[in-house]
């Protein structure tokens, strides 16, 4: 079974494949096959207005943000568990996030990939927007990394390889993700990744200028307000790999965003002596301000990353099929709405399902 506790409610059962006779992570580290897998076909999915609040029982909060929160819910129809992201319309408008919110809904409606979260549907009331998504039980990679302090080379390589496949797919659809970080990587029940939170994802065939993302992960061309392209995601991949291997980001400085931006523009990276030489070579070719040298931005695109010596052992097609055991399996009870891997939060006090005047309806017609 794959992590998705959910399949399209209310008719289908959860989907996935048997984990019997699945090769171990050593296959990732010892196999010589290196061919990139053909991307899954994009299938347009009907996700608008499929559900209402009365279809679900709200269980608890899984996370909170500037515009709302994510709840664990249970379908009253198939008894399966989902995550519902609730965004307060007034907050979205006040924070000037209308375009990003509509982009998130549109991007999630288009994509279908083993390492991306699935959006099953959206709906709204007069005060809130609702997005029904997979409940991914294993929690954030961020939490695992903090507990581990840093990952061994093979573990970091496993997670990085799954991210590479997901970014390669998004870029093939002209989508820039723009918010890669451990907090946005969830672990499914078998320990494979799902990228979540598409709040900054955008369809960009060529270049864009918007300053958005998380300070530690921003590419220098974003910080300096230049036009940028999909290669900002490959820079962020470099920062992610560095953080997984070291336990900290290369440009962090007391948490002050302005100081971090200065460090990014200086571009000096200090590599600890314990970093694998192949990993350091890859990082030096991802965390570079020179776009004529940054891997992923060259003539061979993502193939240059997949074919780099650090990834030599990765069997990309088997990894795409999740035909390789993850290095860590979350200690959860699968399919039971087990949210033990998520922090606890105070619950929402304002009731959902409000009727009445909706001054913001015109901004969110796609919901």
Q: Would you name the residues annotated as active-site residues?
A: 179
Round to whole Å and give the CA distance between 117 and 186.
9
Number of H helices and number of E strands within the chain?
Answer: 11, 9
CA-to-CA dists, residue 74 to 53, 84, 187, 336, angstroms = 11, 10, 20, 10
Per the annotation, does 85 bind a ligand?
yes
CB contact at 8 A, 211 and 222: yes
Please tell me whether residue 216 adopts helix, strand or coil conformation.
helix
Round to whole Å and give the CA distance between 266 and 119.
39
Q: Nearest-CA neighbor of 86 among 365, 342, 357, 348?
A: 348
For the chain, the helix, strand and coil percentages under 3-state DSSP, each to the nearest 5: 30, 15, 55
C-alpha R_g of the chain: 20
Residue ranges at the known binding site: 85
Give the residue numbers of the binding site for ATP: 85
């Amino acid at each position: 079974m794959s992590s998705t506790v959910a399949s399209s409610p209310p008719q289908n059962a959860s989907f996935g494949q048997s984990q019997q006779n699945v090769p171990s992570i050593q296959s990732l580290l010892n196999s010589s096959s290196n061919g990139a897998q053909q991307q899954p076909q994009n299938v347009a999915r009907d996700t608008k207005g499929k559900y209402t609040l009365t279809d679900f029982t709200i269980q608890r909060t899984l996370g909170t943000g500037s515009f709302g929160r994510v709840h664990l819910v249970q379908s009253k129809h198939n008894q399966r568990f989902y995550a519902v992201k609730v965004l307060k319309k007034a907050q979205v408008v006040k924070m000037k996030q209308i375009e990003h919110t509509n982009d998130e809904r549109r991007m999630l409606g288009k994509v279908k990939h083993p390492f991306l979260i699935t959006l099953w549907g959206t709906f709204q009331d007069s005060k809130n927007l609702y997005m029904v998504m997979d409940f991914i039980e294993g929690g954030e990679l961020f939490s695992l990394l903090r507990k581990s302090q840093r990952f061994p080379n093979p573990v970091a390589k496993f997670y990085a390889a799954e991210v590479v496949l997901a970014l390669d797919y998004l870029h093939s659809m002209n989508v820039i993700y723009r918010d890669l970080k451990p907090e946005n990587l969830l672990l499914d029940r078998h320990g494979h990744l799902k990228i979540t939170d598409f709040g900054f994802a955008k369809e960009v065939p060529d270049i864009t200028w918007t300053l958005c993302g998380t300070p530690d992960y921003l590419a220098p061309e974003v910080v300096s307000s230049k036009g940028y392209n999909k290669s900002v995601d490959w820079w962020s991949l470099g920062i992610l790999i560095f953080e997984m291997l070291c336990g900290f980001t290369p440009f962090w400085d007391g948490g002050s965003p302005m100081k971090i931006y200065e460090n990014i523009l200086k571009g000096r990276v200090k590599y600890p002596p314990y970093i694998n030489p192949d990993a350091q070579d890859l990082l030096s070719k991802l965390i570079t301000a020179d776009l004529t040298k940054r891997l992923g931005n060259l003539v061979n695109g993502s193939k240059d990353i997949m074919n780099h010596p650090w990834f030599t052992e990765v069997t990309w097609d088997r990894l795409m099929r999740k035909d390789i055991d993850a290095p860590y399996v979350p200690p959860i009870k699968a399919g039971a709405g087990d949210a033990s891997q998520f922090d606890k939060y105070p619950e929402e006090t304002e009731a959902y399902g409000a009727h009445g005047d909706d001054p913001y309806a015109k901004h969110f017609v796609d919901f």
